[in-house]
Structure 1
Amino acid sequence: MKLRRSRASKRGRIEIIPMIDVMFFLLATFMLASLAMQRLDAVKINLPSGQAERLSEDRPLTMSIDPKNEIFIDHSLVRLDQVEGSIRRLLKADKNVVIAADDAAAQGAVVQAMLAARRGGAEHFLIAVHRE
């Protein structure tokens, strides 16, 4: 007499559909995370080329001057007469200001903005350049 097993042995199966769902979810998550790392709100300027050391990881106060000689302090448009007050309000303890002036910006506009920032309390100016 032959006895049958109470449980029939079955081979395990790997379901592929849930694994595809997980992979698409991970793909979408990494795509959104990489978009969040982009600086999409930056002022569009062409920096002059040069060699310079990298700054530390903390974000310093940035004053940008575009080709139309408009002044931006941390991506906010300000007039020349507002630069002093804005710098005084936003300046950090190290009193460093990064100047990111476009190649086509007038030298006089850059100097006037730097003088207004100096009156606002800035002590050290760092000039941003495009690394070669």
Structure 2
Amino acid sequence: MSMHLPSNKGRGRRAPMADINVTPLVDVMLVLLIIFMVTAPLLTAGVPVNLPESRAKPVDQDQKPVQISIDDKGQVFVDNELTADTALPAKLEEIAGRAPGPDGKPAAVFLRADQGLGYGKVMKVMGELNHAGLNRVSLITDASAKP
């Protein structure tokens, strides 16, 4: 007994191809991988900027924000009241515990720091703000910067 298998010899039409060529897909994926590998380190590196000066427009606020100022000696003032470094976390917890604004978010915080102040002191205050749950922090800059 023999079995008859259909062949393509007498027909003139080509059989459909059932294979998928994955080489172009692999090439595109490798190029995308290289692009992401090259650009990822650039996203973490910052550009040196002069933060104390800005031409940004003022932000509109519904409720009165909390003013936190750090002078050139490193003293912290909360709403123009001198606050010791040890009392700052408790003061910020008190501010965070107040009733939220009309949008349901905690009060906005305006942070003003002297230009000659060390970066570590500002980051310490911002860390305390974050720990207290005050995440709406705006850094105040001098708006008189020239283009």
- Counterpart code for 1:130: D
Give 2:83's aligned amino acid. V
Q: Which consecutive unaligned segments of at least 5 residues does structure 2 have?
A: 1-50
Contact 1:100/1:129 (8 A) holds in 2: yes
* CA–CA distance in structure 2, aligned partners of residues 117 and 81 of structure 1: 14
1:122 aligns with 2:134: yes
Question: 1:71 and 2:51 equivalent?
Answer: no
Match for 1:85 among 73, 76, 90? Answer: 90
Tell me by how many angstroms 1:104 deviates. 1.2
The structure with more radius of gyration: 2
* TM-score for the superposition, normalised by structure 2: 0.53
* Structure 1 residue 127, shift from structure 2 partner: 0.5
Taking only aligned residues, the RMSD between alpha carbons, in angstroms, comes to 1.9
Contact kept in structure 2, 1:62 and 1:74, CA below 8 Å: yes
Measure the CA separation in 1 of the matches of 2:110 and 2:75. 16
Partner residue in 2 for 1:37: none
Using the alignment, how far apart are the partners of 2:134 and 2:92 within structure 1?
Answer: 7
2:55 is the counterpart of 1:51? yes
Count residues in correspondence: 86
Runs of 4+ with deviation above 4 angstroms: none
**Cα drift, residue 56 of structure 1:** 2.5
The percent identity for this pair of structures is: 21
The DSSP-based 3-state class of the residue aligned with 1:113 is helix
**C-alpha distance in 1 between matches for 2:80 and 2:95:** 12
Shift of 1:116: 1.0
What's the secondary structure of 2:87's corresponding residue? Answer: helix
In structure 2, C-alpha distance between the alignment counterparts of 1:121 and 1:82, rounded to whole Å: 16
